[in-house]
Amino acid sequence: MDIGEQLFSLRQKSGESLQQVADKVGVSKAHVSELEKGRSKNPSFELVRKLAAHFGVRIDVLNGEAKEPNKTEMQIEPIHRSLQELTERDRNIVEQMIASMSVKTDAES
């Protein structure tokens, strides 16, 4: 799969529009569309880096060398990255909340 196909797939899984992705990485909607359609073949390394960071994947996922994450993995990764910015106290609170929710989920099953 080439970078355009990967980009399209990741964008579909994230539920974002062309404009949303373009705004997040600082390019035009048309440029993202051209990349997805394979009309723009050689994006700059900086743009590829920004796209990978935006979707929470490694660059090798975008160029097709590594497995693309599924939708659940794509939802979890940004949360995981956000946890790193929290204080230890706040991470502990989040961990307790998750444990509490897991107990409820297990009981409901």
Q: Give the residue from 61, 27, 30, 58 showing the smallest Cα distance to 44.
A: 27
Question: Domain check: are 10 and 57 in the same one?
Answer: yes
The per-residue b/e assignment along 60-90, b for 16 or more CB within 10 angstroms, e otherwise, is ebbeeeeebbeeeebeeeeeeeeeeeeeeee
Domain span including residue 24: 3-62
Question: Domain check: are 58 and 12 in the same one?
Answer: yes
Question: Domain check: are 10 and 38 in the same one?
Answer: yes
| Tens digits of residue pLDDT in 37-81 | 999 888 999 999 999 989 888 899 988 888 888 888 877 877 887
Domains in the chain, number: 2
Question: Domain check: are 47 and 92 in the same one?
Answer: no
Question: Domain check: are 56 and 84 in the same one?
Answer: no
Q: What is the CATH number of the domain that holds 9?
A: 1.10.260.40
Question: Domain check: are 88 and 55 in the same one?
Answer: no
pTM of the predicted model as reported, rounded to 2 decimal places: 0.69
